Chain A
Amino acid sequence: MIQSIRHSKPLQFAILIAGFFVLCFFVTPSENNFLWRLPALIAGLPAIINNSVEFLMFDWFPIETYNVEIEDYEETALLQKITRSISGLILFCIEFIREILLGGVKTIVAFTSWDYVRDNSWAYWPALPWTVVAGIAIALGYALSGRWLAVFVGLATIYIAVFGQWEPAMETLSFVLIAAPLSVLLGLAMGVWAYKSQSVEAALMPLLNVAQTMPHFSYLVPVTVLFGVGDHAGAIATVIFATPPMIRLTLLGLKAVSPEVIEAGLMNGCNKVQLMFRVLIPTARHSILVGVNQVIMQCLAMAVIASFIGAKGLGFNLLLALNQLRIGQALELGICIVLIAVVLDKLSLGWANKQIDYFANLGFVERHKYGFIFIGILLVGIALAYLGTFIFEGGINYFYLIPHNKGFTTENFWQSGVDWMVDNWYQGLQTFNKLLIIDVLLPMKNAYLSMPVSATFLLAMGVGYIIGGIRSALIVGGFLLFIALTEWWDRALITAYMATFAVIVSVVIGSIVGILCAQNTLATKTVLLVCDTLQTFPSFIYLIPVIMLFGVTDTSVLIAVITYATIPATRYTVEGLRNVPVSLQDAGSMSGVNRIQRLVKIELPLAVPHIMLGINQTVVFALFMIIIGAMIGTDDLGQYILKALSDKNGIGNGLMLGLCVAFIGLAVDHLIQTWAKERRAALGLA
């Protein structure tokens, strides 16, 4: 009997489930019953975190300085001095790029003073005409990757200009142009460091895990306290969000470099630096480029959230448009964000794939071809802008800068589309909505809430034990224990209920779409493009129409979550199926399986470990979106994270709640990773 239990996982699961239900039935719900709910032993931790951060920021090591403006001595803590200097530097860089694109005085101020600028009205940096920026971008596209990229860049820039979003787009661009390279460099440096040192890698991994699963809302308050409010704060929050995948992918790429390549490098007499930059990094280029792609996507995905703490540009205008329920306008802004993401991604890809031609023997003009083209574009653009002053009346020069919202717009079209949807679908959807809420969501939520803490632990740790032995059980238990000891266990259960529902639906939709699309190369390309677009398309935009159709209910939140969380589920299914070794497929075909059999018996089982990693991402995406869904109205951890923006213990509460969400994600992540690793080894894929 015991032998058979040891070897039969289904039997183990059956016993586990039985134990789970026994606990559910027999544990009485009462405040003092530790089997029902654990006492909130670490409820005081947020205040402690908060006070220590504030002490460090405002009181520790005060430096007295004389402030001329208020004619008094001021005390500034050392840490504040340091963080504010970092802010100042980043802000300077952002303003510098912004003023090249849009004009301004701040760069001049940085070298002189505000008084100087006030007294000298000529001290103003003029903006580049939009035609010049667009022309240069097109030329860059052509130089890096050829005609098609040039055409695409051209269309994108013209779209942005014609729709009157040039100014906010350039504001967003200027902060992305700082945040993205910063993330790439930081990620590359940390990745290389972790590659060189085992202990660094060991220390970095848990940090990366937390950073990648922690919802961005939870570190907004700490960032504003440490770095202030403004574009720099937005950039810093973006860097925190965008760097982890870069580190991971750099490390992954470097580790995959085969020893033969390193040997070859050493034999050719590389020193350490040369080995890194001439051999290792170029060889790991593929992974690193995926990292760069991720950084760019993440940076623009943050465009809206960064505007909560002061980033100017498309994100802020988008929030304004949504507050006025101008969905059409928000949509146009959202498309601008996606376009910038795609253009930057393609340009960086083109740049990285460009091979240096060491043997070209070119004349002076040939060698400096692009330099001449750039100068040419600049001159033509300025001439055009000058001409524009004579052509256009009413103070707007369409050849120089198209003012915000003075362009073409399709707003009315989208607006009437949304109106039409509400007019025609509301009644029908209402029946569905009621059914879903009353028969599925409410019972499910209540079931989660009536689960004794002991039963939750038994289930989670039991699953951990079956999948990965005692170690996994302890890891998962540790994550849960942290949440259980805060005062937010019930909130976490609600988050878990929404995540479970959303993940199940997303995975079903994602794998069906993925399986269908993976059968055809064109469909595969299309679906991956759609995934990329949706990933950068600001999810805030569809919150509003969803509320109009489904009201402020859990249904609305879940629809928004499912829309977002289906992206990784689809992507990983497609990738998993497309990456099944051709030799194995051929072997199957030769053995006489038909198409369906090949899919079910060969491709799917082989793709399952990769698909499981997709589910892992689905969980993370779902958790992120559930927290954003708090803007619709939920009563889970997300509501408290939003609330932390105004709390007295905002820093502590935000971070702790963020950790709770991260730990739910990490517990699931651990289970799936362990399982996938074992499965891969069993399939001979590792």
Chain B
Amino acid sequence: MFSKTIKLATAGAFSVLLASASITAQAADSSKPIVIPTHNWSSQVVMAYVIGGIFESIGDTVEYVPADSQAVYEAIRNGDITISHEVWQSTFGKSFYNAMEKGGIIDAGTHAASTLEELGVPHYVVENNLCPGLPNWEALKDCAAVFATADSGGKGRILEGPQSWHGDLMPTRIKALGLGDKYVVKFAGSADAIWAELASAKKEGRGIITFNWSPNFTDADGFDFIEFPPYKDGCRTADGGDGSCGSPKGWLKKAANYKFPKTHPAAYKTFSKLSFTTTQVGQMAALVDIDKLSHQEAAKKWLADNEDVWKPFTE
């Protein structure tokens, strides 16, 4: 009886000790590396190294892992990857929310950059007046032939991203706007396929309508988004509408594993404050795509040039 009390007492004392030790430990981040995913487009990779650099500046260790941009959310959920810093609304929103529904992944705030993910044409199409009236969508009615391709059967072809990005959104919109018998929507298999078509079209100076987004490296060459009827709530078929409206200004979110705030409280605070603008995202991409720096160098240069931007995140 007596010995049991002693045991209990020592156990109690230990747990108090442990608790106090862990309180002091909580202030500092774990020394385990924060795993940052790298995908296959420049701004994302540079931003990964930028964020890694910011984490390192506050004493954290980081590690970079290449991952598929769709499969990454499942990996964050399971804790194999800690964060994702470029969650595009229309391309990854679905994967992100699917993972969130299963649990294990949290929304770590939104960048200041507002994004636009919409159909559009390269700037020379407007400049050379290939389809008079663009970027207003009504102009499309009279120039389907300008955008025709070998497999479009005389109709204009609209090159949409992979179907996994936003399902039948574009075909529905085209039909709802009454362009259904003049245009066909072709799903590309990957972003690379869109860039390759854009590059090839530019050489020929031929007309092309593709899905694209901004900020993106294509901004540098000039890309004009088509002005569809403005987005309003309840317009999309999922919300009961007919889908005859353009895309809303989209968000660019950050995601993290649910344990991240607890394991790396300081880093998490920084990460949730962190917010880049459209221009800044563009700068990061341009350092690689236009100045041809390597991704690491670009990140280093950006961090050195923009200390006033990122220092406040860490405070």
Contact of A310 among B67, B163, B164, B197 (CB under 8 A): B67
Question: Considering the chains assembled together, what is the distance between the CA atoms of A114 and B62 in angstroms?
Answer: 11
Interface membership of A635, Cβ < 8 A: yes
Nearest CB on A from B94, distance (A): 7
Query: Which of A70, A320, A554, A631 is B193 in contact with, Cβ under 8 Å?
Result: A631
Residue B119 interfacial (CB < 8 Å): no
A216-230: contact bitstring with B at CB < 8 Å (1 yes, 0 no)?
A: 000011001100111
Report chain B residues within 8 Å CB of A549: 200
> Which one of A40-48, A461-469, A644-652 is at the B interface?
A644-652
Is B1 engaged at the interface, CB distance under 8 Å to the other chain? no
A685 CB to closest chain B CB (Å) equals 43
Q: Which residues of B contact A437 (CB under 8 A)?
A: 150-151
B263 touches A632 (CB 8 A): no
Q: Report chain B residues within 8 Å CB of A133.
A: none
* Per-position 1/0 for A549-573, Cβ under 8 A of B: 1111111000000000000000000
Which residues of A (516-568) have their CB < 8 Å from a CB of B? 543-545, 547-555
A632 in contact with B78 (CB, 8 Å): no
Stretch at the interface among B30-38, B168-176, B236-244: B30-38
Contact B195 A114, beta carbon cutoff 8 Å? no
Does B189 contact A642, Cβ atoms closer than 8 Å?
yes
- Inside 8 A of A650's CB, which chain B residues have their CB? 71, 74
Complex contact B263–A70 (CB within 8 A) = yes
Contact A646:B94 (CB < 8 A) given known A229-B81, A422-B200, A547-B200: yes
Give CA–CA (A562, B105) in the complex, Å: 42
Q: Is B314 an interface residue (CB 8 A)?
A: no
Q: Determine whether the beta carbon of B294 is less than 8 Å from that of A405.
A: yes
* Chain A nearest CB, measured from B196 CB (Å): 4
Per the 8 Å Cβ criterion, residues 161-198 of B in contact with A are 162-164, 186-197
B193-A229 in contact (CB<8A): no
Contact A633 B187 (CB under 8 A): yes
Shortest Cβ distance from residue A395 to the other chain B in the assembled complex, whole angstroms? 12
CB-contact partner of A552 in B37, B75, B159, B217, under 8 A: B159
Interface string of A106-119 (1 = CB under 8 A from B): 00000001110110
Residue of A nearest to B75 (CB): A229
Specify which of A426, A430, A442, A552 is in contact with B188 (CB 8 Å cutoff): A552
Q: Establish whether residues A646 and B95, one from each chain, have CB atoms under 8 Å apart when the complex forms.
A: yes
Tell me whether B190 and A631 are in contact (CB under 8 A): yes
In the assembled complex, the Cα of A225 lies from the Cα of B263 at a distance in Å of 22
Task: Report if B14 contacts A (CB, 8 A).
Answer: no
B47 within 8 A of A: no
Does A419 make an interface contact (CB < 8 A)?
Answer: yes
The answer for the CA separation of A419 and B196 in the assembled complex, in Å, is 12
A565 to B200, CA, bound (A): 26
Q: Taking CB as reference atom, which chain B residue is nearest A649?
A: B98
Residues of A within 8 A of B162 (CB): 633, 639, 642-643
The answer, yes or no, to whether B65 is at the interface (CB within 8 Å) is: yes
B236-284: which residues lie under 8 A (CB-CB) from chain A? 259, 262-263
Known contacts A224-B74, A547-B193; is-contact A553 B42 (Cβ 8 Å): no
Interface footprint category on A: 35 or more
**Measured between alpha carbons, how far is A160 from B68 in the docked complex, in Å?**
26
Contacts of B94 in A (CB 8 A): 646
A547 adjacent to B197 (CB under 8 Å): yes
Contact call A646/B71, Cβ cutoff below 8 A:
yes
Cross-chain contact B74 with A632 (CB below 8 angstroms): no
A123 to chain B, nearest CB (A): 12
Known: A404-B294, A633-B188. A547 touches B151 (CB 8 A): no
Q: Are B68 and A322 in contact (CB under 8 A)?
A: no
Q: Which of B31, B33, B204 contacts A113 (CB 8 A)?
A: B31
Chain B binder among A19-27, A311-319, A380-388: A311-319
CB distance from B184 to the nearest CB of A (A): 12
A309 on interface, CB distance cutoff 8 Å: yes
Assembly CA distance A635 to B65 (angstroms): 31
Tell me how far the C-beta of B183 lies from the nearest C-beta in chain A, rounded to whole angstroms.
Answer: 15
**What chain B residues lie within 8 Å of A72 (beta carbons)?**
262
Chain A contacts of B41 at CB under 8 A? 323
Q: Decide if B259 touches A630 in the complex (CB within 8 Å).
A: no
The reply to whether the CB of A634 lies closer than 8 angstroms to some CB of chain B is yes
**Contact residue range for chain B?**
35 or more
Cβ of B80 < 8 Å from any Cβ of A? yes
Interface positions, chain B 47-89, Cβ under 8 Å from A, are 59, 61, 65-68, 70-75, 78, 80-81
- Given A228-B75, A312-B66, A633-B188, A68:B31 Cβ within 8 A: no
Q: Is the beta-carbon distance between B196 and A548 smaller than 8 angstroms? A: yes
Q: Are A69 and B150 in contact (CB under 8 A)?
A: no
Any B CB within 8 A of the CB of A393: no
Interface contact A114-B32, CB-CB below 8 Å: yes
B74 and A551 contact, CB distance less than 8 A: no
- CB pair A117 B31 closer than 8 Å: yes
Given known pairs A113-B31, A324-B289, the reply for A643 and B80 (CB within 8 Å) is: no
Which chain B positions have C-beta within 8 A of A631?
A: 189-190, 192-193
Specify which chain A residues have a CB less than 8 angstroms from the CB of B98 in the assembled complex. Answer: 646-648
Q: Are B30 and A629 in contact (CB under 8 A)?
A: no
How distant is A166 from chain B, measured CB to nearest CB, in Å?
14
Contact of B164 among A324, A438, A646 (CB under 8 A): A646
- State whether the Cβ of B45 lies closer than 8 Å to any Cβ in chain A: yes
A23 to B127, CA, bound (A): 56
Do A555 and B150 have beta carbons less than 8 Å apart?
A: yes
Q: Are B67 and A229 in contact (CB under 8 A)?
A: yes
> Closest approach, in angstroms, between the C-beta of B98 and any C-beta of chain A?
5
- Contact B259–A442 (Cβ < 8 Å): no
Contacts of B188 in A (CB 8 A): 552, 632-633
Query: CB of B149 within 8 A of chain A?
Result: yes
A221-B94 Cα distance, complex, nearest whole Å:
16
Contact flag A633-B189 (CB < 8 Å), given A230-B80, A430-B150, A548-B199:
yes
For residue A105, which residue of chain B has the nearest CB?
A: B61
**Which partner residue on chain B sits nearest A435 by CB separation?**
B150
User: A114 contacts B33, CB within 8 Å?
Assistant: yes
The answer to whether A434 and B150 have CB atoms under 8 Å apart is yes
A221-B74 CB under 8 A given contacts A69-B259, A642-B162: yes
Query: Which residues does chain A contribute within 8 Å of B15, judged by CB atoms?
Result: none
Q: Judge whether B200 and A639 touch: CB under 8 Å.
A: no
Q: CB of B136 within 8 A of chain A?
A: no
Q: Does A325 contact B (CB under 8 A)?
A: yes
CA distance A145 to B151 in the complex (A): 54
**What residue in chain A is nearest B94 (Cβ atoms)?**
A646
> Beta-carbon contacts of B275-301 to A below 8 Å, as 1s and 0s?
000000000000011000011100000
Given A118-B61, A225-B74, A547-B197: A639 touches B163 (CB 8 Å cut-off): yes
For the complex with contacts A320-B45, A548-B196, 5 further pairs of A-B residues with Cβ separation under 8 Å are: A72-B262, A323-B40, A642-B162, A646-B71, A646-B73
**Can you spell out 27 A-B residue pairs with CB atoms less than 8 angstroms apart?**
A71-B22, A114-B31, A114-B61, A224-B75, A308-B66, A309-B68, A316-B38, A320-B45, A320-B295, A323-B42, A325-B196, A404-B294, A426-B200, A430-B150, A543-B192, A553-B151, A554-B151, A632-B190, A633-B190, A638-B189, A639-B162, A642-B164, A643-B163, A646-B95, A646-B98, A647-B164, A648-B101
State the 3 A-B residue pairs at the shortest beta-carbon distance, nearest first: A114-B31, A646-B70, A70-B262
Binding site for B on A (CB under 8 A): 67-72, 113-115, 117-118, 220-221, 224-225, 228-230, 307-312, 316, 319-320, 322-325, 403-406, 419, 422-423, 426, 430, 433-434, 437-438, 441-442, 543-545, 547-555, 629-635, 638-639, 642-643, 645-648, 650
